[in-house]
Structure 1
Amino acid sequence: MPLTDTRIRNLKPEKTPYKVADGGGLYLQVTPNGSKLWRMRYRFEGREKLLSFGAYPEVSLQRAREKRTDAKGLLADGIDPSAQAKADKAEHAALTEHTFANISAELVHKLRREGKAETTLNKKQWLIDMANADFGETPIRDVDAPMILKTLRKVEAKGNYETAKRLRSTIGQVLRYAIATARADNDPTYALRGALIAPKVSHMAAATDRDTFAKIVRAIWAYDGGSPSTRAALKLMALLYTRPGELRLALWEEFDLEQAVWTVPAERMKMRREHVKPLPAMAVEILRELQSETGSNYRAFPSLIARNRPISENTLNQALRRMGFSQTEHTSHGFRASASSLLNESGLWNEDAIEAELAHLGADQVRRAYQRSRFWDERVRMADWWSGEIRKMLMKSD
């Protein structure tokens, strides 16, 4: 007997689920908790299968019968209603859920869980936001080369060629993640490789001859401006030649001043591997003096303005500008090139030991591990020698 709304409303739950048929394979399943669920049994290619239409009364009796009629029509055309329902669901998700913005957010979350540095993630999000402003709500499968190029041209029009290049790369990263997770079929950014204006490559300015570098060293030790954090950081950049972000973001817990070592955590290293640096006595002395100023803060180099934040790379570069060194002469990142050039020119040290101290890692994993253990003693001697050279530079007058 076909169902009626009155009959359905009067159906009471029992201890076990039971079914009440409406005909044509459609029935209502009443569960012990009182739910009334529409189901339809059918056969396709000799196999019995089941469709779910939702719950009553959200899906009315009339709507459930319409769904049954639609399913019968598909069967008449040789189409499996279950397969069609899955395809419809996937299509709906592609239009409403699998947008560029949603998938890019997933990617950023994945990178954060993988331990990528917060600075890296912020830069990535900044680029993604540019793309989201133009096509964030577009289904990922509909993002095409002309759409992307329009966004890139807007960045190029401002003369930001390097940003446009990085934006293309980041958009491509999102699209390739969508391909890997079966929500896109191709990456149209490949077709745009030759479409952008190539940015002019500019290297970080650095003093790589001894006399010029010595002038910078003397200026730093004579500098009485800025905060204790800034003055100490500049001295340590000259002594330790780390990447600026590795130093200025340092926490006091990373330094073992008794053992004279500094352990830089993997998440702050460019190659995402922990890096242990030997500290010469001169560096330990500077750190102990700084600790008397900032030791109450968990950060070793807190900002003078916001104590919960570190000093910025711009702060270090501005201090160099105040000392009279232009951005084409030397930058905070330039200490690495200065040290690398002068250490190699000395002829005293194994090139691999210098590379290990700079945390420049080659392609071979085994060789990297071998370098770290084999060259530690040499790196300790090299750190002491380099601090001795700094002392000689300080003793020599212009």
Structure 2
Amino acid sequence: MRSVVLTCALAGAVVVAAIPTISVKGSKFFTSEGDQFFVKGIAYQLVPDDPLIDNTQCKLDAALMKDLGTNSIRVYHVDPEADHEGCMSTFADAGIYLWVDLDTFNTQIEQDAPHWNETQLEAFQKVMDEFQQFDNTAGFFVGNEVLTKPNGSVAAPFVKAAARDLKAYRDSKNYRNIPVGYSAADIASLRPMLQNYMACGTNASESLDFFSLNAYEWCGDSSYEQSGYDELTRNVTDYNIPIFLSETGCNEPSPRNFEDQTAIFGDEMTPYWSGSIIYEWIQEANNYGLIKYGEKVDPAASGAPPDGFTRSGTPTPISPDFPNLSNQWKTLTPSGVKESDYTPTLTPPPCPAYTSDVWEVNGGVALPSVGQTFDSAVKSSITASTTVPSGTGQPSASPTEGAAPGSPIKEVQGMSVGLLGLLLGFFWWM
């Protein structure tokens, strides 16, 4: 949030920073106080356009999130023209940071016929302009699950170009060095090529500041090995930028016990991972909610939402999921390393080579400029290479596809959603 000036008749004016800021050093996040930061987050998109303008609602939710042990929220869409000072101040007072997607409903990068143009850039810039002023803005996403299939890999240079241009804009405006990253779908055939591509290259201005993954692999009474978390971790032990789970929380079988949090914040993963964001805060038909705002109503009733789930009011924890997560987080407090004691030594990974039907981008190709679309010339520059036989020259990927039973169906209007209920919700919102 913005620094607050307190005027005291005896002591004069004193500037107080309400919350430490977050930055990147090497493969870790640190607060401005020098402590390593681990994300304990919740996905928070109550309404389609902007959940951060109703401070009365923010106060109710922030208080309960603080009790839960939350230190972050992820918001998928905001209105850059709205006033966010009240909600951002409320969350800062509760010790909660924001990870916000820069795209809007009509400016996201598409994997089919990808492009990156001035309209998209200006829209992303407006969101950055608004939220850079708040100390509890922890990071920006330039995309959410843009790539969901192998032949969608040709969109990766456009995502990376967006990150390049937003980082350059941030620096040209002398904004705080707020990290810029990407939230990826957990697609085994694209991992780990995608995460390596987003960090590769000798030009740091073109690589992401962080990478994150929407993974629903640990379901029910699973384990570090059975879930595939061990494979995910083996693929990032030499990763040179921070990585965390930007969505997780498999809900089948239910109830959710959130035992995966023990692994994420345990000794096997904290040297390499920076936490997780649980999907999601509100209860909807997809049954991922941690709270509800009252009982479900008949969608046919006058004024009722189409799916029957109210999206405002006093939040009521859903049992046993809410207390299960709370009990996990209360026992998991990784200390990490002090920034002053940390000297990064990792270097960027090699840019993955072209592999037919697996990763159709030719290593460290020149990124598209603003205004370029995926025409024949761009396609030629991205994909031209000597084909690498499938299965050679690439790190191993998890045997699972990541979309565990009960996990949300992805990429509806750029936000991860679940099945019929959230589809109905989007018809209502739009």
Sort the TM-score into its range (normalised by shorter chain): under 0.3
Give the TM-score, by structure 1 length.
0.22
Higher-strand-fraction structure: 2
Higher-helix-fraction structure: 1
Give the TM-score, by structure 2 length.
0.21
Q: Which has the larger radius of gyration?
A: 1
Q: Report 1 or 2 for greater relative contact order, CA contacts < 8 Å, sequence distance ≥ 6.
A: 2
